Amino acid sequence: MGEVIVITSGKGGVGKTTTTANLGAALAMQGKKVALVDTDIGLRNLDVVMGLENRIVYDIVDVVEEKCKLRQALIKDKRFTELFLLPAAQTRDKSAVNEKQMIELTNKLKEEFDYILIDCPAGIEQGFKNAIAGANRAIVVTTAEISAIRDADRIIGLLESSEIKNPELIVNRLKPNMVRRGEMMDVDDIVDLLSIELVGVVPDDEYVVTQTNKGEPVVSNHKAPSGKAYLEIARRVLGENIEVTVPGREKGFFAKLKRLFGIK
Amino acid sequence: MFESIINFFKKIGKQDKEQVKSKDAAKERLHLVLMQDRANVSADFLDLMKQEIIEVIKKYIDVDENAIDVRLTNKENEDGTKGAPALYANIPIVSIKEEVKTGMARQKDTLKENTKTSEKVVDKEEIAEKKDEQSIKEETKQTESKKQEAEENKEEASNEEPKNKEIKKEEIKDHKQQKNKKEEVKKHKENQQLKQEDANKDKPEEKEKAKKEDTTKK
Protein backbone atom coordinates (compact mmCIF):
# COMPACT_ATOMS: atom_id res chain seq x y z
CA MET A 1 0.00 0.00 0.00
CA GLY A 2 1.33 3.38 -0.97
CA GLU A 3 1.40 6.58 0.99
CA VAL A 4 -0.67 9.59 -0.03
CA ILE A 5 1.05 12.92 0.73
CA VAL A 6 -0.70 16.20 0.13
CA ILE A 7 1.50 19.23 -0.59
CA THR A 8 -0.33 22.30 0.65
CA SER A 9 0.27 25.87 1.82
CA GLY A 10 -2.89 27.93 2.00
CA LYS A 11 -1.29 30.88 0.27
CA GLY A 12 -0.65 30.77 -3.44
CA GLY A 13 2.73 31.19 -5.05
CA VAL A 14 4.89 29.76 -2.29
CA GLY A 15 6.02 26.76 -4.37
CA LYS A 16 3.56 23.90 -3.88
CA THR A 17 3.69 22.84 -7.52
CA THR A 18 7.47 23.13 -7.73
CA THR A 19 7.79 21.16 -4.52
CA THR A 20 5.41 18.45 -5.77
CA ALA A 21 7.29 18.10 -9.06
CA ASN A 22 10.73 17.99 -7.48
CA LEU A 23 9.91 15.86 -4.50
CA GLY A 24 8.19 13.46 -6.86
CA ALA A 25 11.20 13.37 -9.16
CA ALA A 26 13.56 12.95 -6.20
CA LEU A 27 11.52 10.04 -4.82
CA ALA A 28 11.50 8.46 -8.28
CA MET A 29 15.30 8.85 -8.40
CA GLN A 30 15.40 6.86 -5.16
CA GLY A 31 13.71 4.02 -7.02
CA LYS A 32 10.17 4.57 -5.78
CA LYS A 33 7.09 4.33 -7.93
CA VAL A 34 5.51 7.76 -7.74
CA ALA A 35 2.27 9.32 -8.98
CA LEU A 36 1.76 13.07 -8.98
CA VAL A 37 -1.84 14.27 -8.88
CA ASP A 38 -2.72 17.85 -9.79
CA THR A 39 -5.93 18.81 -8.00
CA ASP A 40 -5.83 22.46 -9.02
CA ILE A 41 -8.72 22.06 -11.45
CA GLY A 42 -9.14 25.11 -13.67
CA LEU A 43 -5.64 26.39 -12.94
CA ARG A 44 -3.45 23.42 -13.67
CA ASN A 45 0.29 23.95 -13.74
CA LEU A 46 2.01 20.79 -12.60
CA ASP A 47 1.98 19.63 -16.23
CA VAL A 48 3.99 22.64 -17.48
CA VAL A 49 6.36 22.57 -14.53
CA MET A 50 7.05 18.91 -15.34
CA GLY A 51 7.26 19.64 -19.07
CA LEU A 52 4.51 17.15 -19.86
CA GLU A 53 1.85 19.59 -21.10
CA ASN A 54 1.90 18.27 -24.66
CA ARG A 55 1.13 14.73 -23.67
CA ILE A 56 -2.17 15.26 -21.87
CA VAL A 57 -5.07 13.28 -23.33
CA TYR A 58 -7.29 12.65 -20.30
CA ASP A 59 -7.37 14.35 -16.93
CA ILE A 60 -8.53 13.82 -13.35
CA VAL A 61 -12.14 14.84 -14.13
CA ASP A 62 -12.30 12.32 -16.97
CA VAL A 63 -11.13 9.63 -14.56
CA VAL A 64 -13.63 10.60 -11.89
CA GLU A 65 -16.46 10.78 -14.40
CA GLU A 66 -15.34 7.42 -15.78
CA LYS A 67 -14.78 8.69 -19.30
CA CYS A 68 -11.51 6.84 -19.30
CA LYS A 69 -9.53 4.38 -17.23
CA LEU A 70 -7.08 5.62 -14.62
CA ARG A 71 -4.19 4.07 -16.57
CA GLN A 72 -5.10 6.01 -19.68
CA ALA A 73 -4.98 9.34 -17.89
CA LEU A 74 -1.63 8.75 -16.19
CA ILE A 75 1.25 10.29 -18.15
CA LYS A 76 4.60 8.57 -17.77
CA ASP A 77 7.59 10.84 -17.35
CA LYS A 78 10.17 9.14 -19.55
CA ARG A 79 13.14 10.84 -17.87
CA PHE A 80 12.51 8.85 -14.70
CA THR A 81 11.93 5.17 -14.30
CA GLU A 82 8.65 5.22 -12.39
CA LEU A 83 7.17 8.70 -12.32
CA PHE A 84 3.62 9.41 -13.46
CA LEU A 85 1.40 12.48 -13.63
CA LEU A 86 -2.35 12.67 -13.36
CA PRO A 87 -3.12 16.18 -14.67
CA ALA A 88 -5.99 18.43 -13.59
CA ALA A 89 -8.69 19.55 -15.99
CA GLN A 90 -8.26 23.09 -17.24
CA THR A 91 -11.79 23.85 -18.47
CA ARG A 92 -13.68 22.78 -15.35
CA ASP A 93 -13.70 24.03 -11.76
CA LYS A 94 -13.15 22.61 -8.28
CA SER A 95 -16.73 21.40 -7.96
CA ALA A 96 -16.14 18.88 -10.77
CA VAL A 97 -14.67 16.51 -8.17
CA ASN A 98 -15.87 15.76 -4.66
CA GLU A 99 -14.15 14.36 -1.58
CA LYS A 100 -15.62 10.88 -1.90
CA GLN A 101 -14.37 10.62 -5.47
CA MET A 102 -10.91 11.72 -4.36
CA ILE A 103 -10.81 9.02 -1.69
CA GLU A 104 -11.77 6.40 -4.29
CA LEU A 105 -9.13 7.73 -6.67
CA THR A 106 -6.32 7.74 -4.11
CA ASN A 107 -7.31 4.26 -2.94
CA LYS A 108 -6.87 2.99 -6.49
CA LEU A 109 -3.54 4.76 -6.85
CA LYS A 110 -2.33 3.41 -3.51
CA GLU A 111 -2.57 -0.14 -4.83
CA GLU A 112 -0.10 0.58 -7.59
CA PHE A 113 2.24 3.28 -6.35
CA ASP A 114 4.63 3.69 -3.41
CA TYR A 115 4.02 7.42 -3.13
CA ILE A 116 1.15 9.55 -4.34
CA LEU A 117 1.87 13.27 -4.13
CA ILE A 118 -1.14 15.55 -4.33
CA ASP A 119 -0.58 19.11 -5.49
CA CYS A 120 -3.16 21.11 -3.56
CA PRO A 121 -4.63 24.35 -4.89
CA ALA A 122 -4.30 27.58 -2.89
CA GLY A 123 -7.13 28.43 -0.54
CA ILE A 124 -9.20 26.51 1.97
CA GLU A 125 -12.29 25.85 -0.13
CA GLN A 126 -13.49 22.80 -2.06
CA GLY A 127 -10.20 22.32 -3.88
CA PHE A 128 -8.33 22.06 -0.58
CA LYS A 129 -10.94 19.73 0.88
CA ASN A 130 -10.67 17.49 -2.17
CA ALA A 131 -6.88 17.46 -2.05
CA ILE A 132 -6.68 16.40 1.60
CA ALA A 133 -9.60 13.97 1.47
CA GLY A 134 -7.58 10.93 0.46
CA ALA A 135 -4.27 11.90 2.03
CA ASN A 136 -2.74 10.28 5.09
CA ARG A 137 0.21 12.63 5.33
CA ALA A 138 0.71 16.34 4.66
CA ILE A 139 3.62 18.59 3.83
CA VAL A 140 3.00 22.28 4.40
CA VAL A 141 5.07 24.61 2.24
CA THR A 142 5.76 28.14 3.41
CA THR A 143 8.16 30.96 2.70
CA ALA A 144 9.61 33.22 5.37
CA GLU A 145 7.00 35.86 4.62
CA ILE A 146 4.45 36.91 7.19
CA SER A 147 1.47 36.19 4.91
CA ALA A 148 2.66 32.71 3.96
CA ILE A 149 3.33 31.79 7.59
CA ARG A 150 -0.04 33.00 8.72
CA ASP A 151 -1.78 30.98 6.03
CA ALA A 152 0.37 27.96 6.83
CA ASP A 153 -0.74 28.19 10.46
CA ARG A 154 -4.35 28.24 9.36
CA ILE A 155 -3.79 25.25 7.10
CA ILE A 156 -2.07 23.34 9.91
CA GLY A 157 -5.10 23.97 12.09
CA LEU A 158 -7.42 22.66 9.39
CA LEU A 159 -5.23 19.63 8.73
CA GLU A 160 -5.11 18.74 12.40
CA SER A 161 -8.87 19.00 12.72
CA SER A 162 -9.17 16.65 9.74
CA GLU A 163 -7.78 13.14 9.85
CA ILE A 164 -4.25 14.15 8.94
CA LYS A 165 -2.07 14.38 12.02
CA ASN A 166 1.49 15.66 12.32
CA PRO A 167 1.90 17.71 9.16
CA GLU A 168 5.49 18.38 8.14
CA LEU A 169 7.02 21.70 7.12
CA ILE A 170 9.12 22.83 4.17
CA VAL A 171 10.49 26.35 4.30
CA ASN A 172 10.87 27.41 0.71
CA ARG A 173 12.77 30.22 -0.97
CA LEU A 174 14.93 31.08 2.01
CA LYS A 175 17.44 33.84 1.38
CA PRO A 176 20.43 33.11 3.61
CA ASN A 177 21.92 36.56 3.08
CA MET A 178 18.78 38.28 4.26
CA VAL A 179 18.51 35.97 7.26
CA ARG A 180 22.09 36.80 8.17
CA ARG A 181 21.29 40.50 8.05
CA GLY A 182 18.21 40.00 10.19
CA GLU A 183 15.93 41.06 7.37
CA MET A 184 14.21 37.73 6.98
CA MET A 185 12.79 35.40 9.57
CA ASP A 186 15.02 32.52 10.49
CA VAL A 187 13.99 28.88 9.99
CA ASP A 188 13.99 28.45 13.76
CA ASP A 189 11.61 31.40 14.15
CA ILE A 190 9.21 29.87 11.67
CA VAL A 191 9.36 26.42 13.26
CA ASP A 192 8.78 28.06 16.66
CA LEU A 193 5.73 29.88 15.39
CA LEU A 194 4.16 26.94 13.58
CA SER A 195 5.46 24.25 15.94
CA ILE A 196 5.43 21.36 13.48
CA GLU A 197 8.27 19.14 12.37
CA LEU A 198 10.66 20.58 9.80
CA VAL A 199 11.30 18.29 6.86
CA GLY A 200 13.48 20.56 4.77
CA VAL A 201 14.64 24.03 3.80
CA VAL A 202 14.94 25.04 0.15
CA PRO A 203 17.12 28.04 -0.66
CA ASP A 204 15.95 30.70 -3.06
CA ASP A 205 17.59 29.65 -6.29
CA GLU A 206 17.58 30.96 -9.86
CA TYR A 207 17.93 27.41 -11.12
CA VAL A 208 14.30 26.82 -10.18
CA VAL A 209 13.33 29.46 -12.75
CA THR A 210 15.67 28.27 -15.50
CA GLN A 211 14.84 24.61 -15.00
CA THR A 212 11.11 25.32 -14.94
CA ASN A 213 11.52 27.39 -18.11
CA LYS A 214 12.79 24.22 -19.76
CA GLY A 215 10.15 22.02 -18.16
CA GLU A 216 12.72 20.07 -16.17
CA PRO A 217 12.74 19.44 -12.45
CA VAL A 218 15.55 21.16 -10.61
CA VAL A 219 16.71 17.89 -9.04
CA SER A 220 18.08 16.89 -12.46
CA ASN A 221 20.55 19.78 -12.30
CA HIS A 222 23.41 18.79 -10.05
CA LYS A 223 24.65 22.36 -9.69
CA ALA A 224 21.38 23.61 -8.20
CA PRO A 225 21.35 24.09 -4.40
CA SER A 226 17.55 23.85 -4.41
CA GLY A 227 17.79 20.50 -6.20
CA LYS A 228 20.06 19.20 -3.45
CA ALA A 229 17.57 20.39 -0.86
CA TYR A 230 14.76 18.47 -2.57
CA LEU A 231 16.88 15.32 -2.73
CA GLU A 232 17.47 15.65 1.00
CA ILE A 233 13.77 16.16 1.64
CA ALA A 234 13.01 13.00 -0.34
CA ARG A 235 15.35 11.04 1.91
CA ARG A 236 13.67 12.39 5.02
CA VAL A 237 10.23 11.66 3.57
CA LEU A 238 11.43 8.10 3.05
CA GLY A 239 12.17 7.94 6.75
CA GLU A 240 15.91 8.50 6.89
CA ASN A 241 16.90 10.26 10.06
CA ILE A 242 19.18 12.97 8.69
CA GLU A 243 19.66 16.47 9.99
CA VAL A 244 17.95 19.23 8.03
CA THR A 245 20.48 21.37 6.19
CA VAL A 246 19.70 25.04 6.64
CA PRO A 247 21.14 27.11 3.78
CA GLY A 248 23.63 29.74 4.91
CA ARG A 249 24.62 27.89 8.04
CA GLU A 250 27.64 26.09 6.61
CA LYS A 251 30.89 26.59 8.46
CA GLY A 252 33.17 28.01 5.79
CA PHE A 253 36.01 30.48 6.05
CA PHE A 254 33.76 33.36 5.05
CA ALA A 255 31.12 32.38 7.53
CA LYS A 256 33.71 32.53 10.31
CA LEU A 257 35.06 35.83 9.05
CA LYS A 258 31.60 37.33 8.94
CA ARG A 259 30.80 36.07 12.39
CA LEU A 260 34.00 37.73 13.56
CA PHE A 261 32.59 41.04 12.38
CA GLY A 262 29.31 40.39 14.12
CA ILE A 263 27.20 39.54 11.10
CA LYS A 264 26.03 36.38 12.77
CA MET B 1 42.74 49.94 1.03
CA PHE B 2 42.67 48.51 4.52
CA GLU B 3 40.50 51.38 5.68
CA SER B 4 37.99 50.82 2.92
CA ILE B 5 37.69 47.18 3.93
CA ILE B 6 37.08 48.18 7.53
CA ASN B 7 34.53 50.76 6.42
CA PHE B 8 32.80 48.11 4.36
CA PHE B 9 32.42 45.88 7.37
CA LYS B 10 31.39 48.81 9.53
CA LYS B 11 28.65 49.58 7.04
CA ILE B 12 27.43 46.01 7.17
CA GLY B 13 27.52 46.17 10.95
CA LYS B 14 25.42 49.32 10.93
CA GLN B 15 22.88 47.81 8.57
CA ASP B 16 22.66 44.86 10.85
CA LYS B 17 21.74 47.00 13.83
CA GLU B 18 19.22 49.10 11.96
CA GLN B 19 17.42 46.35 10.15
CA VAL B 20 17.22 43.67 12.79
CA LYS B 21 13.94 45.41 13.40
CA SER B 22 12.24 44.18 10.24
CA LYS B 23 12.67 40.54 11.19
CA ASP B 24 11.68 41.14 14.78
CA ALA B 25 8.74 43.25 13.72
CA ALA B 26 7.54 40.41 11.52
CA LYS B 27 7.93 37.95 14.36
CA GLU B 28 6.11 40.11 16.84
CA ARG B 29 3.24 40.83 14.48
CA LEU B 30 2.93 37.19 13.59
CA HIS B 31 2.80 36.17 17.24
CA LEU B 32 -0.18 38.40 17.81
CA VAL B 33 -1.93 37.60 14.56
CA LEU B 34 -1.51 33.85 15.00
CA MET B 35 -2.79 34.04 18.54
CA GLN B 36 -5.87 35.91 17.39
CA ASP B 37 -6.35 33.50 14.49
CA ARG B 38 -5.97 30.46 16.71
CA ALA B 39 -8.20 31.74 19.47
CA ASN B 40 -10.64 33.06 16.89
CA VAL B 41 -11.08 36.37 18.69
CA SER B 42 -11.92 39.63 17.00
CA ALA B 43 -9.44 42.45 16.75
CA ASP B 44 -11.42 44.79 19.00
CA PHE B 45 -11.42 42.27 21.82
CA LEU B 46 -8.08 43.64 22.96
CA ASP B 47 -9.34 47.22 22.70
CA LEU B 48 -12.40 46.41 24.78
CA MET B 49 -10.31 44.75 27.44
CA LYS B 50 -7.83 47.61 27.41
CA GLN B 51 -10.62 50.14 27.93
CA GLU B 52 -11.92 48.25 30.93
CA ILE B 53 -8.51 47.82 32.48
CA ILE B 54 -7.98 51.56 32.15
CA GLU B 55 -11.35 52.32 33.74
CA VAL B 56 -10.47 50.26 36.78
CA ILE B 57 -6.96 51.59 37.18
CA LYS B 58 -8.11 55.17 36.77
CA LYS B 59 -10.00 54.89 40.04
CA TYR B 60 -6.76 54.62 41.93
CA ILE B 61 -4.17 56.38 39.88
CA ASP B 62 -3.90 58.97 37.16
CA VAL B 63 -2.46 57.30 34.15
CA ASP B 64 -1.22 58.57 30.84
CA GLU B 65 -3.91 57.06 28.62
CA ASN B 66 -2.09 57.66 25.37
CA ALA B 67 1.02 55.88 26.53
CA ILE B 68 -0.73 52.75 27.72
CA ASP B 69 0.44 49.64 25.96
CA VAL B 70 -1.65 46.50 26.29
CA ARG B 71 -0.95 43.52 24.09
CA LEU B 72 -0.72 39.78 23.87
CA THR B 73 2.76 38.41 23.61
CA ASN B 74 4.59 35.25 24.34
CA LYS B 75 6.40 35.32 27.62
CA GLU B 76 10.11 34.92 27.22
CA ASN B 77 11.55 31.91 28.98
CA GLU B 78 14.83 32.00 30.85
CA ASP B 79 16.65 30.43 27.94
CA GLY B 80 15.37 33.13 25.59
CA THR B 81 12.78 30.99 23.83
CA LYS B 82 9.18 32.06 23.58
CA GLY B 83 6.95 30.47 26.17
CA ALA B 84 3.31 30.61 27.10
CA PRO B 85 1.15 33.45 25.84
CA ALA B 86 0.98 36.37 28.23
CA LEU B 87 -0.98 39.58 28.60
CA TYR B 88 1.47 42.43 28.68
CA ALA B 89 0.44 45.81 30.03
CA ASN B 90 2.67 48.84 30.46
CA ILE B 91 0.85 51.64 32.22
CA PRO B 92 2.83 54.80 32.95
CA ILE B 93 1.69 56.48 36.19
CA VAL B 94 1.15 60.22 36.26
CA SER B 95 0.19 60.36 39.92
CA ILE B 96 -1.67 58.49 42.60
CA LYS B 97 -5.10 59.79 43.49
CA GLU B 98 -5.34 61.92 46.62
CA GLU B 99 -8.37 60.13 47.99
CA VAL B 100 -6.61 56.81 47.73
CA LYS B 101 -3.59 58.12 49.54
CA THR B 102 -5.44 59.90 52.32
CA GLY B 103 -7.50 57.17 53.83
CA MET B 104 -8.14 53.49 53.92
CA ALA B 105 -11.86 54.10 54.46
CA ARG B 106 -12.19 55.77 51.13
CA GLN B 107 -10.19 53.07 49.49
CA LYS B 108 -12.63 50.53 50.78
CA ASP B 109 -15.46 52.55 49.31
CA THR B 110 -13.86 52.66 45.91
CA LEU B 111 -13.21 48.96 46.13
CA LYS B 112 -16.89 48.40 46.65
CA GLU B 113 -17.67 50.61 43.71
CA ASN B 114 -15.20 48.73 41.72
CA THR B 115 -16.72 45.33 42.35
CA LYS B 116 -20.14 46.71 41.57
CA THR B 117 -19.08 47.98 38.19
CA SER B 118 -17.19 44.87 37.30
CA GLU B 119 -20.27 42.83 37.94
CA LYS B 120 -22.09 44.66 35.22
CA VAL B 121 -22.18 43.17 31.78
CA VAL B 122 -19.64 44.65 29.43
CA ASP B 123 -21.26 46.83 26.90
CA LYS B 124 -19.70 49.30 24.57
CA GLU B 125 -22.27 51.96 25.36
CA GLU B 126 -21.92 51.37 29.04
CA ILE B 127 -18.21 51.81 28.82
CA ALA B 128 -18.70 55.06 26.99
CA GLU B 129 -21.06 56.28 29.71
CA LYS B 130 -18.68 55.29 32.41
CA LYS B 131 -15.98 57.09 30.57
CA ASP B 132 -17.97 60.31 30.67
CA GLU B 133 -18.63 60.02 34.36
CA GLN B 134 -15.05 59.18 34.91
CA SER B 135 -13.77 62.14 32.96
CA ILE B 136 -15.91 64.53 35.01
CA LYS B 137 -14.58 63.02 38.19
CA GLU B 138 -11.11 63.20 36.75
CA GLU B 139 -11.35 66.92 36.15
CA THR B 140 -12.52 67.73 39.65
CA LYS B 141 -9.88 65.53 41.19
CA GLN B 142 -7.19 67.03 39.05
CA THR B 143 -8.05 70.55 40.16
CA GLU B 144 -7.98 69.39 43.76
CA SER B 145 -4.66 67.74 43.40
CA LYS B 146 -3.24 70.79 41.65
CA LYS B 147 -4.14 72.98 44.61
CA GLN B 148 -2.47 70.59 46.95
CA GLU B 149 0.48 70.36 44.65
CA ALA B 150 0.91 74.09 44.77
CA GLU B 151 0.81 74.09 48.54
CA GLU B 152 3.26 71.31 48.84
CA ASN B 153 5.47 73.02 46.34
CA LYS B 154 5.93 75.95 48.64
CA GLU B 155 6.80 73.75 51.52
CA GLU B 156 9.16 71.34 49.91
CA ALA B 157 10.54 73.09 46.88
CA SER B 158 13.94 73.41 48.50
CA ASN B 159 14.62 69.76 49.23
CA GLU B 160 13.87 68.14 45.93
CA GLU B 161 15.40 64.88 44.91
CA PRO B 162 15.82 64.19 41.22
CA LYS B 163 15.26 60.44 41.22
CA ASN B 164 12.73 59.59 43.84
CA LYS B 165 10.87 56.37 43.87
CA GLU B 166 7.98 57.75 45.86
CA ILE B 167 5.16 58.86 43.71
CA LYS B 168 4.04 61.46 46.22
CA LYS B 169 7.16 63.50 45.71
CA GLU B 170 6.88 63.39 41.99
CA GLU B 171 3.75 65.46 42.22
CA ILE B 172 5.61 68.22 43.97
CA LYS B 173 7.73 68.94 40.97
CA ASP B 174 6.79 71.70 38.60
CA HIS B 175 5.75 70.34 35.23
CA LYS B 176 7.41 72.95 33.07
CA GLN B 177 10.61 73.53 34.97
CA GLN B 178 11.55 69.94 35.49
CA LYS B 179 10.16 68.14 32.54
CA ASN B 180 13.38 66.28 31.92
CA LYS B 181 13.75 65.08 35.45
CA LYS B 182 10.15 64.02 35.48
CA GLU B 183 10.64 61.98 32.36
CA GLU B 184 13.52 60.21 33.97
CA VAL B 185 11.42 59.35 36.95
CA LYS B 186 8.63 58.29 34.68
CA LYS B 187 10.92 55.92 32.87
CA HIS B 188 12.09 54.59 36.15
CA LYS B 189 8.55 54.03 37.20
CA GLU B 190 7.69 52.39 33.94
CA ASN B 191 10.41 49.91 34.65
CA GLN B 192 9.08 49.38 38.12
CA GLN B 193 5.65 48.98 36.67
CA LEU B 194 6.98 46.45 34.24
CA LYS B 195 8.44 44.42 37.04
CA GLN B 196 5.18 44.57 38.89
CA GLU B 197 3.38 43.53 35.79
CA ASP B 198 5.72 40.61 35.36
CA ALA B 199 5.10 39.53 38.90
CA ASN B 200 1.37 39.86 38.45
CA LYS B 201 1.42 38.23 35.06
CA ASP B 202 1.26 34.66 36.23
CA LYS B 203 -2.42 34.57 37.02
CA PRO B 204 -3.83 36.15 33.88
CA GLU B 205 -1.35 34.16 31.91
CA GLU B 206 -2.74 30.95 33.21
CA LYS B 207 -6.18 32.13 32.35
CA GLU B 208 -5.02 33.02 28.90
CA LYS B 209 -3.46 29.65 28.53
CA ALA B 210 -6.58 27.89 29.63
CA LYS B 211 -8.61 30.01 27.29
CA LYS B 212 -6.37 29.16 24.43
CA GLU B 213 -6.51 25.49 25.16
CA ASP B 214 -10.27 25.65 25.29
CA THR B 215 -10.52 27.33 21.95
CA THR B 216 -8.07 24.98 20.31
CA LYS B 217 -10.04 22.05 21.63
CA LYS B 218 -13.12 23.45 20.01
Do residues B56 and B68 lie in contact, with contact meaning Cβ atoms separated by under 8 Å?
no
Instruction: Tell me which residue of A33, A18, A31 sits closest to A110, measured CA to CA.
Output: A33
Q: How many CB atoms lie within 10 A of CB B77?
A: 10
Asked if A188 is an interface residue toward chain B (Cβ–Cβ < 8 A), one would say no
Measured CA to CA in angstroms, residue A33 lies from A22, A111, A115, B25 at distances of 14, 11, 6, 45
Partners of residue A150 in chain B, C-beta under 8 Å: 30, 33-34, 37
| pLDDT at B103 > cutoff 70 | no
Do residues B105 and B98 lie in contact, with contact meaning Cβ atoms separated by under 8 Å?
no
Under 8 Å CB-to-CB from B28, ≥6 apart: which residues?
Answer: B73
Q: Between A217 and B33, where is the model more confident? A: A217
Which chain B residue lies closest to A194 (C-alpha atoms)? B34
Q: Kindly compute the dihedral angle of the four CA atoms of residues A219, A221, A222, A223, in this order, to the nearest 10 degrees.
A: -120
Verify whether the Cβ–Cβ distance A150 to B9 is below 8 Å.
no
Instruction: Tell me which residue of A130, A134, A111, A143 sits closest to A18, measured CA to CA.
Output: A143
The predicted pLDDT at position A2 comes to: 94
Asked if B34 is an interface residue toward chain A (Cβ–Cβ < 8 A), one would say yes
pTM for the complete prediction? 0.63
Which chain B residue lies closest to A156 (C-alpha atoms)? B38
DSSP 8-state symbol, B64: -
Q: How many CB atoms lie within 10 A of CB B129?
A: 11
The predicted pLDDT at position A151 comes to: 97
Partners of residue B23 in chain A, C-beta under 8 Å: 182-186, 189
Mean pLDDT for chain A overall: 94
Give the pLDDT confidence of A69-94 residue by residue, as tens digits. Answer: 999 999 999 999 999 999 999 999 99
Task: Say how many Å lie between the first and final Cα of chain B, rounded.
Answer: 65
Percent of chain B with pLDDT over 70: 28
Q: What number is the average pLDDT over the span A29-57?
A: 97
| Residues A147, A10: Cα–Cα separation, whole Å | 10
The predicted pLDDT at position A163 comes to: 83
The predicted pLDDT at position B177 comes to: 40
Percent of chain A with pLDDT over 90: 91
The predicted pLDDT at position B113 comes to: 54
The predicted pLDDT at position B73 comes to: 67
Nearest by CB to residue A149, choosing from B21, B30, B38, is B30
| Residues B149, B171: Cα–Cα separation, whole Å | 6
Q: What number is the average pLDDT over the span A6-27?
A: 97
| pLDDT at A150 > cutoff 70 | yes
Give the pLDDT confidence of B56-83 residue by residue, as tens digits. Answer: 888 888 888 788 877 766 666 676 655 5
Verify whether the Cβ–Cβ distance A154 to B37 is below 8 Å.
yes
The predicted pLDDT at position B102 comes to: 67
Partners of residue B38 in chain A, C-beta under 8 Å: 153, 157
Q: What number is the average pLDDT over the span A152-158?
A: 95
Give the pLDDT confidence of A189-248 residue by residue, as tens digits. Answer: 999 999 999 999 999 999 999 999 999 999 999 999 999 999 999 999 999 999 999 998
| Residues A106, A108: Cα–Cα separation, whole Å | 5
Measured CA to CA in angstroms, residue B89 lies from A178, B58, B70, B205 at distances of 33, 14, 4, 12
Q: Are strands A83-86 and A115-119 parallel, antiparallel or unpaired?
A: unpaired
Under 8 Å CB-to-CB from A110, ≥6 apart: which residues?
Answer: A1, A2, A3, A4, A116
Q: Is B180 left (phi over 0), alpha (psi -120 to 50) or beta?
A: alpha
ipTM confidence: 0.79
